[in-house]
Structure 1
Amino acid sequence: VGNTAVSRVTPGCPCAQNIVCVGRNYAEHAKEMGSALPAEPLFFLKPSSAYVREGSPIVRPYYCRNLHHEVELGVVIGRRAQAVPQDAAMEHVAGYALCLDMTARDTQEECKKKGLPWTLAKGFGSSCPVSDFVPKEKIPDPHKLQIWLKVNGKMRQEGDTSSMIFSIPYLISYISHIFTLEEGDLILTGSPKGVGSVEANDEIEAGIRDVLSMRFKVLRPKYTF
Structure 2
Amino acid sequence: MKIIAVGMNYPLHCKELHATEPLPEEPVIFMKPDSALLKDGKPFFIPDFCRQVDYETELVVRISRLGKNIAERFAHRYYDAVTVGIDFTARDLQRRFRSEGKPWELCKGFDNSAAIGDWIPVEQFATIQNIRFRLDIDGCKVQEGNTCDMLFPVDRIIAYVSQFCTLKIGDLLYTGTPAGVGPVTIGNHLEGYLEDRKVLDFNIR
TM-score range, shorter chain: over 0.9
| Contact 2:136-2:142 at 8 Å conserved across structures | yes
| Contact 1:75-1:93 at 8 Å conserved across structures | yes
In 1: Cα distance, 2:83 partner to 2:8 partner: 19
In 1: Cα distance, 2:104 partner to 2:190 partner: 23
Query: What residue ranges of structure 1 are gaps of 5+ in the alignment?
Result: 1-16, 220-225
User: By how many angstroms is 1:54 displaced?
Assistant: 3.5
| Contact 1:57-1:126 at 8 Å conserved across structures | no
In 1: Cα distance, 2:122 partner to 2:195 partner: 15
Q: Secondary structure at 2:179's aligned position in 1?
A: coil
In 1: Cα distance, 2:179 partner to 2:131 partner: 15
Identify the residue that residue 166 of structure 1 maps to in structure 2.
Answer: 152
| Contact 1:53-1:131 at 8 Å conserved across structures | yes
Identify the residue that residue 29 of structure 1 maps to in structure 2.
Answer: 13
Identify the residue that residue 107 of structure 2 maps to in structure 1.
Answer: 121
| Contact 1:54-1:129 at 8 Å conserved across structures | no
Cα shift readout 1:53-75 (whole Å, capped 9, x = no counterpart): 13311111211101100000011
Cα shift readout 1:7-30 (whole Å, capped 9, x = no counterpart): xxxxxxxxxx11000000000000
Identify the residue that residue 94 of structure 1 maps to in structure 2.
Answer: 80
| Contact 1:77-1:184 at 8 Å conserved across structures | yes
TM-score, normalised via structure 2 length: 0.95
Identify the residue that residue 123 of structure 2 maps to in structure 1.
Answer: 137
Aligned residues: 203
Q: Secondary structure at 1:58's aligned position in 2?
A: coil
Query: What residue ranges of structure 2 are gaps of 5+ in the alignment?
Result: none
User: By how many angstroms is 1:218 displaced?
Assistant: 1.0
Paired AA for residue 28 in structure 1: L
Moved more, 160-169 or 133-142: 133-142
The ranges of structure 1 where at least 4 consecutive aligned residues each deviate by more than 6 angstroms after the TM superposition are none
The percent of aligned pairs where both chains have the same amino acid is: 35
Q: Secondary structure at 1:59's aligned position in 2?
A: coil
Cα shift readout 1:78-99 (whole Å, capped 9, x = no counterpart): 1011000000111111211211
Identify the residue that residue 192 of structure 2 maps to in structure 1.
Answer: 206
Cα shift readout 1:33-72 (whole Å, capped 9, x = no counterpart): 0243111100100011111113311111211101100000
| Contact 2:35-2:111 at 8 Å conserved across structures | yes
